[in-house]
Structure 1
Amino acid sequence: MNLFKKYPYVITDLDGTIANEGYAINDETYEALQTYQLVSDYHLFLASGRLDLMAKEYFAKLKVKTPIISCNGALIRDPISNEVLYQQTLPQDLAIEIIMKALEHDIDHIVYTANMIYGHPHSKRIALMMKYNEQLIDESYRIPLDTETNYLTLLKNNDIQALKILFPFTSQAELDRVQAINEPFKDQVEGVFSQKDLFDIQSLDINKGNSFKKLCELKGYDPHQFIFYGDNYNDLELAKSVGYTVAMGNSILELKKIANATTVSVDDNGVREHLFTEVLTKDQIAEFLPQVKNVFK
């Protein structure tokens, strides 16, 4: 099959799709995406629940030149110019009230803004980000973290605006506590699982699908010419907005039901498997794969 002829653009999720639980992309998946970049003249797009500044290493290694959809659609930013093309933050009063409740009940949470991530130094999720930062050779790829500043005060003073508030959880009991915080605001905010152990709260009607449509309008792309790879609940609306959706083997059932195809899991390099068997031709792979090591040094 040669899906590339009909769908010349690829947009992919990050975590659970091309990146595993350790924030790492396997070399084999990198190689396939880099090959696609050469074949397509750099038509790879990324859409993530993460803040784009958390994935600078990926952008560099993949030579991403297209606008990045991040924070589940709350932000679209150009990775080359750093121009913000679109941004939708949580209403300030709601962000403050939600955070106050989380602090009152000692519930782990992380606040995402366009330029910084704020959290408690004892947060397990923050610890994972710090561990990622520590192993980086190139410090310019570091995730911007602030575990010391009182972010509630910053919000109250209108010094920062929250794109989303992330709630990590490790048990049903912890999830119940998170849901109890979300419940009073459920008609005023958007709540979604970005991973199996992460729940995000952000501005109403914010999702990857709506932001993708906005990006297509801004840049003149045809949404039906895109292939999308995803795995979780925050991918559902984007999956409905493109021409062809591929669910990962580790995807939620709801995504598999609406996808055009299902590939193998992220750990088994599912995106590579699909790109090399269904999207690109053997001739394209034979021509461009050998060039990858020279272009992506």
Structure 2
Amino acid sequence: MIKLIASDMDGTLVASDHHISKENAAAIKHAQGKGVEFIISTGRSFEDARGQVEEAGISCNYLVMNGSELRNHQGEVIRKHYLDNSIVSEIVTDLLARDLFVEVYSTGGTFALGTTEACKWAIAAKIHNFYPDNAVADLVLTVEEHFLYKELNRISDVQQVFNQGHEVGKIICFNHDTNLIAGLREEIPLKYTVNATGSFAINLEITNPLADKGNAIKNYALSKGIDLEDVMTIGDSFNDMTMIDAPFGYTVAMGNAIDEIKSVARYITDTNDQHGVGNIINKILK
């Protein structure tokens, strides 16, 4: 019997229109009404995740930054696994030396580093990821007018984050060169004691070695006295692997999931634009 449902957001709970559908929200609330706990498990920061969740009328706890933080529905930090400042400094220096755009997710918000040109190409790649009909090279020409670029909180040195007393939960890097990103996912964990994954082919996500979605959900379930066989996990991409290729009773791949996720999941549901999360919840709880 399912007692805990953990769902990813991008490509999973959230549709292409950047909203959580009424169908998904209704299924989650129905499950909660039957005594099943629902928790968000995302690579996003809490600040970036809560808006869409609350907009859908869902009240739940959050595992954010790929398990770097556990927060309750009010945003209070319950558990944390942050990166050491020295490791953050080394990795950021390494990535910037390659002329890459870097963001650090910290307890004081998200900060961006890199040259203006690197920032432009990274944001263009991010926009292209959601709107593939627009070529990255074309998007670069107008990206300065896009809200994703305008809202960047750019700093010149990561030491500024530490000087303000903030701690870093995740380092993220975007680039349109997917081969480069794939290579970095292999290289970075060999050079530094960290986890490296991604939510899209265009990004690299770096966290504390104790922080991954699978471990975070496992520890959360055990803290609640929930057997792992009674846990459902739902995801679609690289950073969901640890919670899909895992000893949970109900591991679910989205219909739009990458093949690597589909190959290890126990169930496959519909796509994120077909209310896949809500459909599998309703099916299993029937």
Please report the TM-score for the alignment, with normalisation by the length of structure 1: 0.76
* Counterpart code for 1:26: S
Which position in structure 2 is the counterpart of 1:30?
25
> Is the aligned partner of 1:236 residue 2:241?
yes
Please show how residues 270-289 of structure 1 align to structure 2 within 5 Å: 270-276=276-282, 278-281=283-286
TM-superposition CA deviations, 1:37-60 (whole Å, max 9, x none) = 3x3346211101111211122332
Check if 1:67 corresponds to 2:61: yes
Q: Please identify runs of 4+ aligned residues in structure 1 that moved more than 4 A.
A: 62-65, 120-123, 125-128, 176-181
Whole-Å Cα distance in 2 between the matches of residues 279 and 182 of structure 1? 39
Distance change in 2, residues 1:64/1:223 (3 Å): farther
The answer on whether the counterparts of 2:125 and 2:176 sit within 8 Å (CA) in structure 1 is no
Q: Which residue of the partner structure matches residue 51 of structure 2?
A: 57
Aligned to 1:172: 178
Match in the other structure for 2:224: 219
User: Which residues of 2 match residues 1-297 of structure 1 at below 5 A?
Assistant: 6-21=1-16, 23-37=18-32, 39-41=33-35, 43-80=37-74, 82-120=75-113, 122=120, 123-124=122-123, 131=147, 147-150=153-156, 152-155=158-161, 157=163, 159-172=165-178, 174-175=180-181, 178=184, 182=188, 185-186=191-192, 188-239=193-244, 240-276=246-282, 278-281=283-286
Structure 1: where are the runs of 5+ without partners?
1-5, 135-144, 282-297
Contact in 2 for aligned 1:226/1:242 (Cα 8 Å): yes
- Counterpart amino acid of 2:229? H
Q: Per the alignment, do residues 176 and 62 of structure 1 end up closer, same or farther by CA in structure 2, a change over 3 Å counting?
A: closer
CA-CA distance at 1:150 after TM superposition: 4.0
* CA–CA separation in structure 2 for the residues paired with 1:273 and 1:117: 34
Query: Mean Cα displacement is larger for which, 60-69 or 45-54?
Result: 60-69
The one-character-per-residue Cα deviations of 1:144-194 (angstroms, maximum 9, x if unpaired) are x661444512245372221111111222354267459726625x1111122
Q: Would the aligned equivalents of 1:192 and 1:201 in 2 still touch at CA under 8 Å?
A: yes
- Give SS of 1:53's match: helix
CA distance in structure 1 between the aligned counterparts of 2:185 and 2:224, rounded to whole angstroms:
37
Deviation digits for residues 57-79 of structure 1, max 9, x if unmatched?
A: 23323554443111111111112
- Matched with 2:136 is none
Check the 8 A contact 1:102/1:181 in 2, yes or no.
Answer: no
Shift of 1:30: 3.0
Report sequence identity in percent.
22
Taking structure 1 as reference, are residues 221 and 83 closer, same or farther at Cα in structure 2, changes over 3 Å only?
farther
Structure 2, gaps ≥5 residues long: 114-118, 128-145
Task: Give the aligned residue type for 1:252.
Answer: I
Q: 1:168 to 1:266 in 2, by over 3 A?
A: same
